Amino acid sequence: MSEEDFKSTIAEYLEALPPQFCRRVFSNPAACLAIFRLLSTVGKQLIMSMLYLEAPIRLHDVHQWAKHSHLRTLKSKVHQLRKLHILAEEKGMVSLNPIFREQLRNALTGGGDFSSFGVPYRGGNSDDRIGAGRLARYADERWETILHFMVGRAADVRPPSDSVRGILKMSRLMEEGADGMRITNRGFQFLLQDSASQVWTVLLQYLRLAEIQDMDVVEVLNFLFQLVSLQLGKPYSAERLTGNQRKMLNELRDFGLVYQDEKDAKRFYPTHLIASLTSGSGSSEPAAPSDSREAAGHGGRAIVGGDALGAGARSKIPGSSVVGKQRFSELLAPSEKGYIVVETNCRVYAYTDSPLHIAILNLFVHLVSRFSNFVTGVLTRTSVRRALSHGITADQMIAFLTTHAHPQMQGNVPVLPITVTDQIRL
């Protein structure tokens, strides 16, 4: 997830919250940890460097933590933390928000109210538990149903619920037409995003919907941060949830973000769609362009790297969503890991049998032939222009092809042939 994607979702939302609302959000250890995980490497290191400082530190001293050539980057990250109300500055002295500092300490050390990370379900037996593979299939089926509906290929699948259609309309991803709902230019752009960015877009719209319905926004926000902090494959109790949280659970279930058996409403499971948002294990972020050692100041304190502010930064904090030794990338189907091959002559080969993948490719690729698990096509002037007319940008097409490139292409630098990217931009 890019820095701009993050800003257009949670970061800008938090920045716009009044200080008293932020204090309520920061009083939740799970929320503090989720926000921490969403920050860039620079932001994380700034926070960790001040986490156990009881007294404010001079801003001038903080600037010494980076080389002069990276000072602008450091100042930018400090400014972002101030806008998020995590960092406070007064008379040239800076310190962490005391509530955020205390609750992040609790989250990292196991202190405070640990029920903010969910209450594990103790009933039933191990045979009743839902496996990670089944959860992944359930989540993918629900999510792909929504995307099928958006691209107009929902004839053979169950249409999404009213709440899902309402959020699609509110976010202007779809609009009412003469023949029913139809996709908008913004919807075409949405389809080419990675799944994590798509989920963040939906969650932001859900927050806006909560405001319209006069729900407690802080309660909604804290529950979302709780869900992204839960462990994949582990059941959690729904008995202690409030009325608003139960309502959220039912609506998020329609998106495939959580699994809850209608016959056993006492427990629920987070799926990989929401549990991976802050773990970074499903991210396709490119590597940081500069080495952290290169950016280190005197004393080797490297706090300025090339990471973007978003959900792609990896975190090694205990509690990352892992089932045994299986990470999210191992739970995905082979075609989800990377299925597209692009040649220098603009020919495209997709190793997939998914109607959804084929429909999305058809947005900007002229498809030539289709086999049982293989599709061929070509990037033509006409197909690219058609995509541009729908509001899809050249960078989004390139990003989609790069994100879903076949593993054998991932080792190339750059991943896509330069001739292809140049032709798309021209």
Distance CA 98, CA 234 (A): 32
Distance CA 417, CA 392 (A): 20
What pLDDT does 282 receive? 36
What pLDDT does 153 receive? 60
Q: How confident is the model at residue 301 (pLDDT cuts 50, 70, 90)?
A: very low
Given a cut of 90, whether residue 412 has pLDDT beyond it is no
Given a cut of 60, whether residue 375 has pLDDT beyond it is yes
Tens-digit pLDDT profile for residues 2-13 = 434 433 567 888
Query: Reduced to 3 states, what is the DSSP secondary structure of residue 8?
Result: helix
Given a cut of 60, whether residue 334 has pLDDT beyond it is no
More confident residue, 357 or 281: 357
User: How far out from the chain centre does Cα 244 lie?
Assistant: 23
Q: How confident is the model at residue 288 (pLDDT cuts 50, 70, 90)?
A: very low
Query: Reduced to 3 states, what is the DSSP secondary structure of residue 424?
Result: helix
What pLDDT does 86 receive? 93
Tens-digit pLDDT profile for residues 242-261 = 888 899 998 899 999 999 88
Q: Tell me the mean pLDDT in the region 356-384.
A: 90
Asked if 174 and 181 touch (Cβ cutoff 8 Å), the reply is yes
Asked if 88 and 3 touch (Cβ cutoff 8 Å), the reply is no
Q: Tell me the mean pLDDT in the region 59-74.
A: 90
Output the pTM of the full model.
Answer: 0.73
Question: Mean pLDDT lowest for which of 112-121, 148-157, 264-273?
Answer: 148-157
Given a cut of 50, whether residue 285 has pLDDT beyond it is no
> What tokens does 363 get?
């947005």
Tens-digit pLDDT profile for residues 94-135 = 999 999 999 999 999 887 777 788 888 887 665 567 788 889
Q: How confident is the model at residue 57 (pLDDT cuts 50, 70, 90)?
A: very high
Tens-digit pLDDT profile for residues 172-201 = 888 887 777 888 888 888 887 888 888 888
Question: Mean pLDDT lowest for which of 94-103, 181-190, 203-212, 331-340?
Answer: 331-340
Q: What percent of the chain has pLDDT over 70?
A: 81
Given a cut of 50, whether residue 330 has pLDDT beyond it is no
Tens-digit pLDDT profile for residues 398-410 = 988 998 899 888 8
Distance CA 243, CA 239 (A): 10
Tens-digit pLDDT profile for residues 349-368 = 999 988 888 888 988 999 99
Mean pLDDT computed over every residue of the chain: 80
C-alpha distance from residue 351 to each of 284, 348, 357, 370, 406 (Å): 19, 10, 10, 10, 9
Given a cut of 70, whether residue 35 has pLDDT beyond it is yes
162: CB partners within 8 A, 6+ apart: none
